[in-house]
């Protein structure tokens, strides 16, 4: 199976990040890469005002999530830069102001692009899928349980890029937290249909 993607779009994102001297993508840049690869993501948009945030939320439907958009704030929750379950325009408008104020209090010198307004999906298991360049092995892909678990448990597995379908599937079972994905204590099994 040949995977097709918009190489020009991906390269443009990576060139911009490199030109700015950064080593990680913002959430919005990550979405651009996902779009280029045809990876489905929740509806979202970038708001630079409370009114724009409300319009975006109204357009995609409630509930929504708000997240600070800043290349200088990678750990959004540490900065008070995430609000979930907002169910109407008034909450979104207030949430926009709260997130901007929290981000400025956390890092007064942070470059703030705005606030990401994102469709809120039903509860599910968050995972990390990434890529990096290892000094010894070169380009590698990474997989692990997402959110704070990836930082606390550091339960990540790597494969040389490009990884085959079989290698990608083996990554799901290679982490210590694999049982979480398989469903434990009444939890549902994570969907593996995308592979």
Question: pLDDT tens, 125-166?
Answer: 788 888 888 999 999 999 998 877 777 778 899 999 999 989
Model pLDDT, residue 153: 79
Q: How far apart are CA 164 and CA 171, in angstroms?
A: 11
What band does 102 get if pLDDT is binned at 50, 70 and 90? very high
Confidence (pTM): 0.72
Q: For the packed helices 7-19 and 27-37, what is the interaxial angle rounded to 10 degrees?
A: 160
Superfamily of domain 42-121: ATP-grasp fold, A domain (3.30.1490.20)
pLDDT at 10 over 50: yes
Measure the CA–CA gap between 160 and 56, rounded to whole angstroms.
39
What's the average model confidence in pLDDT over 178-185? 76
pLDDT at 74: 84
With tokens 């705005």, the residue in question is: 114
Q: What does pLDDT average to over the chain?
A: 89
Please give the full DSSP string across 41-62, using - where no structure is assigned.
---EEEESSHHHHHHHHHHH-S
Q: How far apart are CA 103 and CA 111, in angstroms?
A: 10
Start-to-end CA distance of the chain, whole Å, equals: 11
Residue 161 — φ and ψ, nearest 5°? -95, 145
Q: Is there a contact between 81 and 103 (Cβ–Cβ < 8 Å)?
A: yes
Task: Give me the residue spans of the domains in the chain.
Answer: 1-41, 42-121, 127-182
Structure tokens at 11: 């390269």
Q: Both tokens of residue 174?
A: 């290679």
> Which pLDDT score, from 0 to 100, does residue 195 have?
44
What b/e sequence results for 116-150 when a residue is b if at least 16 CB atoms lie within 10 Å of its CB, and e otherwise? bbbbbeeeebebbebeeeeeeeeebbbbbbeeebb
């Amino acid at each position: 199976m040949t995977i097709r993607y918009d190489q020009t779009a991906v390269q443009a994102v990576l060139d911009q990040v490199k030109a700015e001297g950064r080593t990680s993508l913002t959430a919005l840049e990550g979405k651009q890469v996902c779009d280029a690869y045809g990876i489905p993501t929740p509806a979202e948009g970038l708001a630079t005002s409370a009114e724009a945030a409300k319009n975006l939320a109204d357009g995609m439907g409630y509930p929504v999530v708000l997240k600070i958009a800043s290349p200088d704030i990678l750990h959004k929750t540490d900065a008070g830069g995430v609000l979930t379950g907002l169910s109407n325009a008034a909450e979104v408008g207030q949430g926009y102001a709260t997130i901007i104020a929290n981000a400025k209090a956390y890092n007064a010198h942070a470059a703030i692009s705005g606030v990401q307004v994102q469709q809120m999906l039903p509860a599910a298991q968050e995972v990390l899928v990434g890529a990096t360049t290892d000094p010894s092995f070169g380009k590698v892909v990474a997989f692990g349980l997402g959110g704070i678990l990836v930082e606390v448990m550091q339960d990540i597995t790597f494969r040389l890029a490009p990884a085959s379908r079989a290698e990608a599937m083996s990554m799901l079972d290679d982490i210590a937290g694999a049982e979480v994905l398989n469903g434990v204590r009444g939890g549902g099994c994570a969907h593996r249909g995308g592979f």
